[in-house]
Amino acid sequence: MPNASSNLLDNLRDALADVDAGSLRRRRKLAESPCAPVVSLNGRSVLAFASNDYLGLANHPGLIEAAAEGARRWGVGAGASHLVSGHSAVHEALETELARFVGCEASLVFSTGYMANIAVMPALLGRGDEIFADRLNHASLVDGALLSRATMHRYAHSDMQALARLLAASQARRKLIVSDAVFSMDGDIAPLAELLALAEHYDAWLLIDDAHGFGVLGPQGRGSLAEANLRSERIILMGTLGKAAGVSGAFVAGSQVLIDWLVQKSRAYIFTTAMSPMLAHVLLSSLELIENADDRRQHLRGLVTRFREGMAMHAQCLLPSRTAIQPVVIGDNTNTVNIAAALLERDIWVPAIRPPTVPVGSARLRISLSAAHTQAQVDQLVSSLASELDAAPARPG
Protein backbone atom coordinates (compact mmCIF):
# COMPACT_ATOMS: atom_id res chain seq x y z
CA MET A 1 0.00 0.00 0.00
CA PRO A 2 1.51 3.40 -0.92
CA ASN A 3 2.41 5.57 2.03
CA ALA A 4 0.68 8.84 1.28
CA SER A 5 2.35 10.84 4.03
CA SER A 6 5.87 10.01 2.86
CA ASN A 7 4.87 11.33 -0.55
CA LEU A 8 3.87 14.61 1.01
CA LEU A 9 7.23 14.82 2.75
CA ASP A 10 9.11 13.90 -0.46
CA ASN A 11 7.43 16.82 -2.19
CA LEU A 12 8.64 19.14 0.53
CA ARG A 13 12.18 17.71 0.33
CA ASP A 14 12.24 18.35 -3.43
CA ALA A 15 10.92 21.87 -2.94
CA LEU A 16 13.57 22.57 -0.29
CA ALA A 17 16.28 21.28 -2.64
CA ASP A 18 15.07 23.83 -5.21
CA VAL A 19 15.31 26.54 -2.55
CA ASP A 20 18.91 25.48 -1.86
CA ALA A 21 19.77 25.41 -5.56
CA GLY A 22 18.74 29.08 -5.83
CA SER A 23 20.84 30.11 -2.80
CA LEU A 24 17.52 31.00 -1.22
CA ARG A 25 17.48 28.82 1.89
CA ARG A 26 16.73 31.01 4.89
CA ARG A 27 18.50 30.02 8.09
CA ARG A 28 17.96 31.38 11.53
CA LYS A 29 21.10 32.42 13.35
CA LEU A 30 21.03 31.51 17.01
CA ALA A 31 21.89 34.44 19.25
CA GLU A 32 23.06 33.49 22.72
CA SER A 33 22.77 36.99 24.18
CA PRO A 34 20.29 39.90 24.21
CA CYS A 35 19.75 42.22 21.26
CA ALA A 36 22.73 44.64 21.40
CA PRO A 37 25.52 45.93 19.13
CA VAL A 38 27.74 43.01 20.20
CA VAL A 39 26.00 39.64 20.15
CA SER A 40 27.18 36.15 21.01
CA LEU A 41 26.73 33.86 17.99
CA ASN A 42 27.98 30.26 18.18
CA GLY A 43 30.13 31.24 21.14
CA ARG A 44 31.73 34.10 19.20
CA SER A 45 31.26 37.79 19.79
CA VAL A 46 30.09 39.50 16.63
CA LEU A 47 29.35 43.11 15.85
CA ALA A 48 25.72 43.16 14.72
CA PHE A 49 24.08 45.53 12.20
CA ALA A 50 21.03 43.35 11.90
CA SER A 51 18.30 44.49 14.29
CA ASN A 52 15.67 47.21 14.10
CA ASP A 53 16.49 48.32 17.63
CA TYR A 54 17.17 51.83 16.31
CA LEU A 55 17.38 53.59 19.66
CA GLY A 56 19.10 50.77 21.55
CA LEU A 57 16.15 50.24 23.92
CA ALA A 58 15.65 46.48 23.52
CA ASN A 59 18.04 45.76 26.36
CA HIS A 60 17.68 49.03 28.28
CA PRO A 61 18.08 48.61 32.08
CA GLY A 62 15.14 50.92 32.80
CA LEU A 63 12.85 48.84 30.58
CA ILE A 64 14.06 45.57 32.11
CA GLU A 65 13.16 47.07 35.48
CA ALA A 66 9.78 48.19 34.11
CA ALA A 67 9.13 44.63 32.92
CA ALA A 68 9.66 43.26 36.42
CA GLU A 69 7.49 46.01 37.90
CA GLY A 70 4.83 45.46 35.22
CA ALA A 71 4.72 41.74 35.94
CA ARG A 72 4.32 42.36 39.68
CA ARG A 73 1.59 44.95 39.11
CA TRP A 74 -0.34 43.29 36.23
CA GLY A 75 0.82 39.68 35.98
CA VAL A 76 2.28 38.30 32.78
CA GLY A 77 -0.77 37.30 30.75
CA ALA A 78 -3.92 39.16 29.70
CA GLY A 79 -5.93 35.95 29.94
CA ALA A 80 -8.35 36.75 27.11
CA SER A 81 -9.03 38.96 24.15
CA HIS A 82 -9.75 42.67 24.63
CA LEU A 83 -13.50 42.30 24.10
CA VAL A 84 -13.84 39.40 26.54
CA SER A 85 -11.85 40.22 29.68
CA GLY A 86 -8.28 40.98 28.57
CA HIS A 87 -8.51 44.78 28.27
CA SER A 88 -6.93 46.31 31.36
CA ALA A 89 -6.25 49.85 32.54
CA VAL A 90 -2.62 49.56 31.44
CA HIS A 91 -3.67 48.84 27.82
CA GLU A 92 -6.05 51.78 27.99
CA ALA A 93 -3.29 54.04 29.34
CA LEU A 94 -0.94 52.92 26.57
CA GLU A 95 -3.54 53.69 23.90
CA THR A 96 -4.13 57.13 25.36
CA GLU A 97 -0.41 57.89 25.52
CA LEU A 98 0.27 56.62 21.99
CA ALA A 99 -2.57 58.74 20.58
CA ARG A 100 -1.27 61.81 22.39
CA PHE A 101 2.29 61.11 21.26
CA VAL A 102 1.43 60.90 17.55
CA GLY A 103 -1.20 63.66 17.75
CA CYS A 104 -4.27 61.58 16.91
CA GLU A 105 -7.65 61.38 18.63
CA ALA A 106 -7.39 57.71 19.50
CA SER A 107 -5.32 54.58 19.07
CA LEU A 108 -5.68 50.82 19.29
CA VAL A 109 -2.94 48.46 20.45
CA PHE A 110 -2.14 45.18 18.67
CA SER A 111 0.21 42.34 19.58
CA THR A 112 2.30 42.72 16.42
CA GLY A 113 2.57 44.99 13.41
CA TYR A 114 1.74 42.10 11.15
CA MET A 115 -1.59 41.73 12.94
CA ALA A 116 -2.32 45.46 12.83
CA ASN A 117 -1.75 45.43 9.09
CA ILE A 118 -4.01 42.46 8.43
CA ALA A 119 -6.64 44.03 10.71
CA VAL A 120 -7.25 47.43 9.15
CA MET A 121 -8.01 46.88 5.46
CA PRO A 122 -10.53 44.03 5.89
CA ALA A 123 -12.42 46.18 8.43
CA LEU A 124 -12.72 49.13 6.05
CA LEU A 125 -13.01 47.61 2.58
CA GLY A 126 -14.53 44.65 0.80
CA ARG A 127 -15.32 43.29 -2.62
CA GLY A 128 -15.76 46.05 -5.19
CA ASP A 129 -13.53 48.48 -3.28
CA GLU A 130 -10.00 49.32 -4.42
CA ILE A 131 -6.60 49.49 -2.75
CA PHE A 132 -3.63 51.36 -4.24
CA ALA A 133 -0.34 50.00 -2.92
CA ASP A 134 3.31 50.87 -3.43
CA ARG A 135 5.05 47.91 -5.03
CA LEU A 136 7.69 47.82 -2.27
CA ASN A 137 5.22 47.79 0.63
CA HIS A 138 5.85 45.38 3.50
CA ALA A 139 4.48 41.84 3.09
CA SER A 140 1.98 42.35 5.92
CA LEU A 141 0.33 45.18 3.97
CA VAL A 142 0.05 42.93 0.92
CA ASP A 143 -1.56 40.23 3.06
CA GLY A 144 -3.95 42.72 4.66
CA ALA A 145 -5.03 43.94 1.24
CA LEU A 146 -5.59 40.36 0.01
CA LEU A 147 -7.64 39.52 3.11
CA SER A 148 -9.93 42.49 2.50
CA ARG A 149 -11.01 41.02 -0.89
CA ALA A 150 -10.81 44.52 -2.37
CA THR A 151 -9.06 44.84 -5.74
CA MET A 152 -5.40 45.71 -5.23
CA HIS A 153 -3.49 47.90 -7.70
CA ARG A 154 0.27 48.08 -7.16
CA TYR A 155 2.05 51.17 -8.44
CA ALA A 156 5.78 51.48 -9.19
CA HIS A 157 7.77 52.45 -6.11
CA SER A 158 6.90 56.02 -5.02
CA ASP A 159 5.61 56.82 -8.54
CA MET A 160 2.95 59.45 -7.82
CA GLN A 161 2.04 59.87 -11.50
CA ALA A 162 1.29 56.17 -11.78
CA LEU A 163 -0.78 56.36 -8.60
CA ALA A 164 -2.70 59.40 -9.86
CA ARG A 165 -3.52 57.59 -13.13
CA LEU A 166 -4.84 54.56 -11.25
CA LEU A 167 -6.96 56.74 -8.95
CA ALA A 168 -8.34 58.75 -11.86
CA ALA A 169 -9.42 55.54 -13.59
CA SER A 170 -11.04 54.07 -10.49
CA GLN A 171 -14.83 53.73 -10.27
CA ALA A 172 -14.72 52.23 -6.79
CA ARG A 173 -16.92 53.73 -4.12
CA ARG A 174 -14.35 53.17 -1.40
CA LYS A 175 -10.62 53.65 -2.03
CA LEU A 176 -7.56 53.27 0.16
CA ILE A 177 -3.96 54.23 -0.58
CA VAL A 178 -1.38 52.32 1.44
CA SER A 179 2.35 52.84 1.78
CA ASP A 180 5.29 52.20 4.05
CA ALA A 181 6.52 55.58 5.35
CA VAL A 182 10.14 54.36 5.50
CA PHE A 183 10.61 51.41 3.15
CA SER A 184 11.87 48.51 5.20
CA MET A 185 14.41 47.08 2.75
CA ASP A 186 15.41 50.34 1.05
CA GLY A 187 15.38 52.94 3.79
CA ASP A 188 13.93 55.70 1.62
CA ILE A 189 10.89 57.72 2.64
CA ALA A 190 7.58 57.77 0.75
CA PRO A 191 6.40 61.10 -0.74
CA LEU A 192 3.97 61.55 2.14
CA ALA A 193 2.66 65.02 1.27
CA GLU A 194 1.92 63.93 -2.32
CA LEU A 195 0.21 60.77 -1.06
CA LEU A 196 -2.05 62.84 1.20
CA ALA A 197 -2.82 65.32 -1.58
CA LEU A 198 -3.89 62.46 -3.87
CA ALA A 199 -5.93 60.85 -1.08
CA GLU A 200 -7.73 64.18 -0.58
CA HIS A 201 -8.29 64.78 -4.27
CA TYR A 202 -9.73 61.31 -4.86
CA ASP A 203 -11.44 60.98 -1.46
CA ALA A 204 -9.44 57.93 -0.40
CA TRP A 205 -8.22 56.67 2.96
CA LEU A 206 -4.45 56.91 3.44
CA LEU A 207 -2.91 54.07 5.45
CA ILE A 208 0.69 54.79 6.45
CA ASP A 209 2.89 52.09 7.97
CA ASP A 210 5.51 53.89 10.05
CA ALA A 211 7.26 50.80 11.44
CA HIS A 212 10.67 52.35 10.78
CA GLY A 213 9.90 56.02 11.38
CA PHE A 214 8.09 55.81 14.72
CA GLY A 215 10.51 56.74 17.51
CA VAL A 216 13.23 57.76 15.06
CA LEU A 217 11.97 60.53 12.79
CA GLY A 218 10.19 63.78 13.55
CA PRO A 219 10.21 65.95 16.68
CA GLN A 220 10.76 63.75 19.79
CA GLY A 221 10.53 60.73 17.48
CA ARG A 222 6.82 61.25 16.76
CA GLY A 223 7.32 59.67 13.36
CA SER A 224 7.39 60.28 9.63
CA LEU A 225 4.05 62.09 9.44
CA ALA A 226 5.05 64.46 12.24
CA GLU A 227 8.34 65.11 10.49
CA ALA A 228 6.44 66.01 7.31
CA ASN A 229 3.95 68.01 9.42
CA LEU A 230 0.94 66.18 7.97
CA ARG A 231 -2.41 65.67 9.66
CA SER A 232 -5.72 64.56 8.31
CA GLU A 233 -8.77 62.65 9.43
CA ARG A 234 -8.34 60.37 6.45
CA ILE A 235 -4.89 59.22 7.61
CA ILE A 236 -4.68 55.86 9.34
CA LEU A 237 -1.30 55.67 11.05
CA MET A 238 0.16 52.30 11.94
CA GLY A 239 3.30 52.11 14.07
CA THR A 240 5.19 49.18 15.51
CA LEU A 241 6.54 48.82 19.03
CA GLY A 242 9.16 46.11 18.43
CA LYS A 243 11.62 48.30 16.54
CA ALA A 244 12.63 51.71 17.89
CA ALA A 245 10.41 51.15 20.94
CA GLY A 246 12.50 48.08 21.72
CA VAL A 247 9.66 45.84 22.98
CA SER A 248 6.95 44.29 20.79
CA GLY A 249 3.48 45.16 19.60
CA ALA A 250 1.95 47.80 17.36
CA PHE A 251 -0.77 50.41 17.23
CA VAL A 252 -3.16 52.01 14.80
CA ALA A 253 -3.98 55.68 15.38
CA GLY A 254 -6.49 58.02 13.82
CA SER A 255 -9.86 59.55 14.47
CA GLN A 256 -12.01 58.25 17.34
CA VAL A 257 -14.70 56.99 14.98
CA LEU A 258 -12.12 54.98 13.00
CA ILE A 259 -10.83 53.34 16.18
CA ASP A 260 -14.40 52.64 17.39
CA TRP A 261 -15.08 50.92 14.07
CA LEU A 262 -11.90 48.82 14.24
CA VAL A 263 -12.90 47.58 17.70
CA GLN A 264 -16.17 46.37 16.17
CA LYS A 265 -14.85 44.89 12.93
CA SER A 266 -11.14 44.00 13.06
CA ARG A 267 -10.96 40.23 13.26
CA ALA A 268 -7.21 40.37 14.01
CA TYR A 269 -8.07 42.56 17.01
CA ILE A 270 -11.15 40.72 18.21
CA PHE A 271 -10.14 37.07 17.93
CA THR A 272 -6.78 37.10 19.67
CA THR A 273 -5.48 37.33 23.22
CA ALA A 274 -4.63 40.88 24.29
CA MET A 275 -0.97 41.90 24.48
CA SER A 276 0.61 40.95 27.78
CA PRO A 277 -0.23 43.74 30.26
CA MET A 278 3.37 43.48 31.44
CA LEU A 279 4.51 44.58 27.99
CA ALA A 280 1.94 47.38 27.90
CA HIS A 281 3.49 48.61 31.16
CA VAL A 282 7.00 48.41 29.66
CA LEU A 283 5.80 50.27 26.57
CA LEU A 284 4.61 53.21 28.68
CA SER A 285 8.18 53.56 29.96
CA SER A 286 9.58 53.06 26.47
CA LEU A 287 7.39 55.86 25.16
CA GLU A 288 8.78 58.18 27.83
CA LEU A 289 12.34 57.23 26.87
CA ILE A 290 11.57 57.80 23.17
CA GLU A 291 10.14 61.23 23.85
CA ASN A 292 13.33 62.23 25.67
CA ALA A 293 15.82 60.56 23.32
CA ASP A 294 16.89 63.51 21.14
CA ASP A 295 20.50 62.70 22.05
CA ARG A 296 20.11 59.13 20.78
CA ARG A 297 18.43 60.27 17.58
CA GLN A 298 21.18 62.83 16.98
CA HIS A 299 23.87 60.20 17.55
CA LEU A 300 22.07 57.85 15.13
CA ARG A 301 21.91 60.53 12.43
CA GLY A 302 25.64 61.06 12.92
CA LEU A 303 26.27 57.33 12.41
CA VAL A 304 24.21 57.35 9.19
CA THR A 305 26.30 60.22 7.83
CA ARG A 306 29.53 58.54 8.91
CA PHE A 307 28.55 55.28 7.24
CA ARG A 308 27.59 56.93 3.95
CA GLU A 309 30.74 59.07 3.88
CA GLY A 310 32.83 56.01 4.67
CA MET A 311 31.24 54.15 1.78
CA ALA A 312 31.84 56.96 -0.73
CA MET A 313 34.07 54.69 -2.87
CA HIS A 314 31.17 52.24 -3.13
CA ALA A 315 28.38 54.78 -3.45
CA GLN A 316 26.98 52.90 -6.46
CA CYS A 317 25.88 50.11 -4.06
CA LEU A 318 24.05 52.49 -1.71
CA LEU A 319 20.43 53.56 -2.00
CA PRO A 320 19.10 57.10 -1.43
CA SER A 321 18.40 56.60 2.27
CA ARG A 322 18.91 59.05 5.12
CA THR A 323 17.43 56.64 7.66
CA ALA A 324 18.99 53.96 9.86
CA ILE A 325 18.29 51.41 7.10
CA GLN A 326 21.33 51.47 4.81
CA PRO A 327 21.18 48.71 2.20
CA VAL A 328 24.22 47.73 0.15
CA VAL A 329 22.83 46.29 -3.08
CA ILE A 330 24.85 43.42 -4.54
CA GLY A 331 22.31 41.99 -7.01
CA ASP A 332 23.16 38.32 -7.28
CA ASN A 333 21.87 36.02 -4.52
CA THR A 334 24.99 33.86 -4.24
CA ASN A 335 27.36 36.85 -4.17
CA THR A 336 25.26 38.49 -1.49
CA VAL A 337 25.27 35.40 0.67
CA ASN A 338 29.02 34.97 0.14
CA ILE A 339 29.80 38.53 1.17
CA ALA A 340 27.61 38.22 4.27
CA ALA A 341 29.47 34.97 5.14
CA ALA A 342 32.85 36.65 4.61
CA LEU A 343 31.80 39.51 6.89
CA LEU A 344 30.77 37.02 9.54
CA GLU A 345 34.28 35.53 9.31
CA ARG A 346 35.42 39.02 10.27
CA ASP A 347 32.96 38.95 13.19
CA ILE A 348 30.49 41.33 11.56
CA TRP A 349 26.85 40.28 11.29
CA VAL A 350 24.91 41.84 8.43
CA PRO A 351 21.86 40.03 7.04
CA ALA A 352 21.69 39.04 3.37
CA ILE A 353 18.24 39.89 2.05
CA ARG A 354 17.10 37.96 -1.02
CA PRO A 355 13.93 37.54 -3.08
CA PRO A 356 11.05 37.35 -2.42
CA THR A 357 11.72 39.90 0.34
CA VAL A 358 13.29 42.16 -2.33
CA PRO A 359 12.82 42.12 -6.13
CA VAL A 360 14.75 39.49 -8.12
CA GLY A 361 18.25 40.71 -9.01
CA SER A 362 18.43 43.19 -6.13
CA ALA A 363 19.72 40.98 -3.32
CA ARG A 364 21.41 43.12 -0.73
CA LEU A 365 23.07 43.43 2.62
CA ARG A 366 20.61 45.21 4.89
CA ILE A 367 22.65 47.25 7.29
CA SER A 368 20.70 48.77 10.12
CA LEU A 369 22.32 51.26 12.43
CA SER A 370 21.36 51.84 16.04
CA ALA A 371 21.99 54.63 18.50
CA ALA A 372 23.65 51.92 20.59
CA HIS A 373 26.46 51.61 18.01
CA THR A 374 29.63 53.68 18.44
CA GLN A 375 31.39 55.58 15.67
CA ALA A 376 34.30 53.15 15.99
CA GLN A 377 31.96 50.23 15.37
CA VAL A 378 30.61 51.89 12.23
CA ASP A 379 34.19 52.52 11.07
CA GLN A 380 34.96 48.84 11.59
CA LEU A 381 31.92 47.91 9.50
CA VAL A 382 32.93 50.30 6.72
CA SER A 383 36.50 49.02 6.46
CA SER A 384 35.49 45.34 6.46
CA LEU A 385 32.68 45.95 4.02
CA ALA A 386 34.88 47.95 1.67
CA SER A 387 37.51 45.22 1.49
CA GLU A 388 34.92 42.51 0.90
CA LEU A 389 33.26 44.57 -1.85
CA ASP A 390 36.67 45.15 -3.48
CA ALA A 391 37.29 41.39 -3.39
CA ALA A 392 33.77 40.47 -4.53
CA PRO A 393 34.12 40.51 -8.34
CA ALA A 394 36.89 37.91 -8.10
CA ARG A 395 34.82 35.68 -5.87
CA PRO A 396 33.74 32.46 -7.56
CA GLY A 397 30.00 31.82 -7.71
Ligand X SMILES: *Cc1c(COP(=O)(O)O)cnc(C)c1O
Q: Which residues are catalytic?
A: 184, 212, 243
Nearest one of 130, 116, 380, 126 to 238, comparing CA atoms: 116
Are 317 and 328 a contacting pair, CB within 8 Å? yes
Work out whether 240 is an interface residue with ligand X (CB under 6 A): yes
Instruction: Please report, for residues 69, 160, 217, 286, the alpha-carbon distance to residue 64 in angstroms, rounded to integers and kept in the order given.
Output: 9, 44, 25, 10
Work out whether 242 is an interface residue with ligand X (CB under 6 A): yes
Which CB, 114 or 155, lies closer to ligand X? 114
Q: How far apart are CA 217 and CA 231, in angstroms?
A: 16
Report long-range pairs for 318-321 (Cβ below 8 Å, ≥24 apart). Answer: 319/186, 319/187, 319/188, 320/188, 321/186, 321/187, 321/188
Indicate the burial class of 344 (C-beta count within 10 angstroms; 0-12, 13-18, 19 or more).
middle
Among the listed residues 112, 285, 326, 384, the single contact to ligand X using CB under 6 A: 112
- Whether omega before 393 lies within 30 degrees of 0, making that bond cis, reads no
272 marked as binding residue:
no
Work out whether 321 is an interface residue with ligand X (CB under 6 A): no
Q: Among the candidate windows 41-49, 110-118, 266-274, 333-341, which touches ligand X by CB under 6 A?
A: 110-118
Which CB, 129 or 209, lies closer to ligand X? 209
100 marked as binding residue:
no
Work out whether 140 is an interface residue with ligand X (CB under 6 A): yes
Which CB, 211 or 352, lies closer to ligand X? 211
Q: Among the candidate windows 106-114, 188-196, 257-265, 338-346, which touches ligand X by CB under 6 A?
A: 106-114
Work out whether 48 is an interface residue with ligand X (CB under 6 A): no
User: What's the one-letter identity of residue 235?
Assistant: I
Which CB, 112 or 285, lies closer to ligand X? 112
Are 155 and 135 a contacting pair, CB within 8 Å? yes
Nearest one of 166, 249, 227 to 202, comparing CA atoms: 166
Work out whether 107 is an interface residue with ligand X (CB under 6 A): no
User: What's the one-letter identity of residue 202?
Assistant: Y
Q: CB 140 → ligand X: shortest distance, Å?
A: 5
Give the CA count within 13 Å in the CB-facing half-sphere of 22: 14
Which CB, 117 or 362, lies closer to ligand X? 117
Per-residue binding string, ligand X, 191-230, x by CB under 6 A, is ------------------x-xx------------------
Work out whether 155 is an interface residue with ligand X (CB under 6 A): no
184 marked as binding residue:
yes
Among the listed residues 51, 88, 107, 117, the single contact to ligand X using CB under 6 A: 117
Work out whether 184 is an interface residue with ligand X (CB under 6 A): yes
Exposure string of 199-223, with b = 16+ CB inside 10 Å and e = fewer, is beebebbbbbbbbbbbbbbbeebbb
Among the listed residues 49, 74, 101, 114, the single contact to ligand X using CB under 6 A: 114
Q: Cβ contacts of residue 345 below 8 Å, gap of 6+?
A: none
Work out whether 86 is an interface residue with ligand X (CB under 6 A): no
| Beta-carbon count within 10 A of 310 CB | 16
Residue with the closest Cβ to ligand X? 113
Among the listed residues 53, 129, 130, 180, the single contact to ligand X using CB under 6 A: 180
91 marked as binding residue:
no
Q: How far apart are CA 16 and CA 20, in angstroms?
A: 6
Contact set with ligand X (CB under 6 A):
112-114, 117, 138, 140, 180, 184, 209, 211-212, 240, 242, 250
Binding residues for substrate: 26, 138, 357
